[in-house]
């Protein structure tokens, strides 16, 4: 596999549906923690922080909606209270609750705006992460393929050399057998044995 020159990873991944990489076990398997380059770790951290922020905003919004609902309920309950009780307590509650409700509503509006924007930031950061990851993966694929080809060539060369050596060994063994057979016939077994002992290799 050879990576096409000028391949535009941005164009390849732009607008494509990509799983959130930091939540996908397959991505982590392709990128063990100890093998992640620093720039990948930085984007991973950025993406995880966005996901955490999104989760926190969703939870905070639920709590604020509940609080706002409770304050509005208190206002309604106090509006229905008797005149005497209203004079003593309800006016204080009625005076404070609308202020709190207004503050909560403003805070919720800000959070809703941020929540509406976060998915785009997550998508953008996730695309950045897949682009940088793919660059590394394809670099490794190319590097490994080059080494695989080199090793394959070396194996073919060694295999051919091995075949030649095996044939050479067989020819030499045949020649030795012929020489020994002729000597045995010519000199007889006794003299051949004497010569064998005299020329016996040291490693035998």
Is 65 a member of any domain?
yes
pLDDT per residue as tens digits for the range 124-142: 999 999 999 999 998 899 9
Rounded to 5°, the CA angle 114-117-123 comes to: 135
Is 73 a member of any domain?
yes
Residues 6+ apart with CB under 8 A from 1: 141, 142, 145
Number of domains composing the chain: 1
Q: Which two tokens stand for residue 66?
A: 């509940």
Looking at residue 2, its pLDDT comes to: 47
Is 123 a member of any domain?
yes
Is 191 a member of any domain?
no
Looking at residue 119, its pLDDT comes to: 94
Is 6 a member of any domain?
no
pLDDT per residue as tens digits for the range 42-78: 999 999 999 999 999 999 989 888 887 777 777 666 6
Looking at residue 188, its pLDDT comes to: 84
Report how far residue 67's alpha carbon sits from residue 79's, in angstroms, rounded to the nearest whole number: 18
Is 64 a member of any domain?
yes
* φ, ψ for residue 125, nearest 5 deg: -70, -40
Q: Which residues of the chain fall below pLDDT 70?
A: 1-6, 75-97, 201-204
Report how far residue 160's alpha carbon sits from residue 154's, in angstroms, rounded to the nearest whole number: 10
Report how far residue 184's alpha carbon sits from residue 199's, in angstroms, rounded to the nearest whole number: 15
Is 14 a member of any domain?
no
Q: Which secondary-structure segment (H or E) carries 6?
A: none
What range does the domain containing 119 cover? Answer: 19-148
Q: CA torsion sign, 53 to 55 to 61 to 67?
A: negative
Is 88 a member of any domain?
yes
Report how far residue 9's alpha carbon sits from residue 16's, in angstroms, rounded to the nearest whole number: 12
Q: How many CB atoms lie within 10 A of CB 90?
A: 20
Looking at residue 71, its pLDDT comes to: 76
């Amino acid at each position: 596999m050879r990576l096409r020159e000028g391949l535009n990873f941005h164009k390849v991944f732009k607008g494509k549906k990509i799983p959130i990489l930091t939540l996908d076990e397959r991505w982590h398997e392709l990128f063990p923690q100890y093998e992640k380059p620093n720039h990948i770790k930085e984007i991973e951290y950025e993406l995880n922080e966005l996901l955490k922020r999104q989760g926190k905003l969703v939870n905070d919004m639920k709590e604020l909606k509940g609080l706002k609902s409770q304050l509005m309920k208190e206002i309604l309950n106090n509006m229905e209270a008797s005149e005497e009780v209203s004079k003593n307590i309800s006016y204080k509650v009625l005076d404070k609750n609308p202020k709190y409700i207004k503050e909560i509503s403003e805070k919720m509006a800000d959070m809703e705006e941020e929540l509406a924007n976060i998915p785009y930031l997550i998508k953008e950061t996730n695309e950045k992460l897949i682009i940088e990851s793919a660059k590394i993966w394809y670099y490794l694929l190319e590097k490994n393929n080059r080494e695989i080809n080199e090793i394959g060539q070396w194996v073919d060369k060694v295999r051919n050399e091995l075949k030649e050596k095996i044939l050479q060994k067989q020819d030499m063994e045949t020649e030795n057998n012929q020489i020994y057979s002729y000597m045995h016939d010519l000199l007889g077994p006794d003299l051949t044995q004497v010569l064998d002992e005299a020329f016996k290799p040291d490693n035998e």
